Amino acid sequence: MSSIHIKLKDKDCQTIKEICESFNNDPGELINILHKAQEHFGYLPAEVQETIAQNLNISVAKVYGVVTFYSFFSMTPKGKHPISVCTGTACYVRGAEKVLEELKKELKISVGETTPDGKFSLSCLRCVGACGLAPVVMIGDKTYGRVAPEDVKKIIEEYNS
């Protein structure tokens, strides 16, 4: 087993400190602080959580408990092109599940994971308000409608070239 040390730069520590201070270092604001931190860093690595815990004077176990409780918080960095598959009712009945399976097969990752090259990450979401286009897949800010499992390979290639 190898251990990966994620070193935070002084600048990052300062950012976390400022985020915490903007909420008066109040442990009751932990969720809001985690939101802000994730907005900034893209995800919540261990050292970010540890630094937040230090600033709020609470245990890192408690911070980790909250991070793992809410599915919105992530400890894995998002890929360069985050892929979200809508599994809301309309998309689901029109075959989102099959599209998702195809994406998993193509990228060789599960939901919530990122490809080893850091290019793609895969997640599910519920309804983007484009039910008429179901099933919908979003890559970054770009929306793909009426996606069939056969289209997946071609869409991914757009980003690989």
Partner 1 sequence: MSLINIKINGKELQVEEGTTILQAAKKVGIEIPTLCYMNLHDLNIEHNPGGCRICVVEVEGRRNLAPSCVTKVWEGMSVKTHTMRVLNARRTVMELILSDHPFECLTCAKNGNCDLQKLAQDLGVREIHYQGEQSTYKEDKSPAIIRDMDKCIMCRRCETMCNDVQTCGVLSGINRGFTAVVAPAFEQDLIKSPCTFCGQCVAVCPTGALTERDYTNRVIRALADPTKTVIVQTAPAVRVALGEEFGLPAGTIVTGKMVAALRRLGFDKVYDTDFAADLTIMEEGTEFLDRLSRYLNGDKNVKLPILTSCCPGWVNFFEYNFPDMRDIPSTAKSPQQMFGAIAKTYLAEKLGVKRENLVVVSVMPCLAKKYEAEREEFRVDGNPDVDFSISTRELAHLIKQTIGDIKDLPDEDFDKLMGESTGAGVIFGNTGGVIEAACRTAYEIYTGKTLEKVEFHQLRGFESVRSAVVDFDGLKLNIGIAHGLGNARKLLECIRNGECEFHAIEIMACPGGCIGGGGQPLHHGNTEILKARAAAIYKEDEGKALRKSHENPEIIKLYEEFLGKPSSEKAHHLLHTKYFDKKKRIYIEK
| Site of interaction with partner 1 (CB under 8 A) | 1-6, 45-47, 49-50, 58-65, 68-69
Please give the helix or strand (H or E) that residue 157 lies within, else none.
helix 152-160
Beta carbon nearer to partner 1, 53 or 133: 53
**CB of 2 vs partner 1, minimal distance in Å:** 7
d(CA 96, CA 87): 6
**CB of 137 vs partner 1, minimal distance in Å:** 27
Cis peptide bond upstream of 135, omega within 30: yes
Beta carbon nearer to partner 1, 71 or 161: 71
24 three-state secondary structure? coil
**CB of 118 vs partner 1, minimal distance in Å:** 15
d(CA 34, CA 102): 32
**CB of 129 vs partner 1, minimal distance in Å:** 27
Beta carbon nearer to partner 1, 12 or 102: 12
Tokens of 115: 């490809």
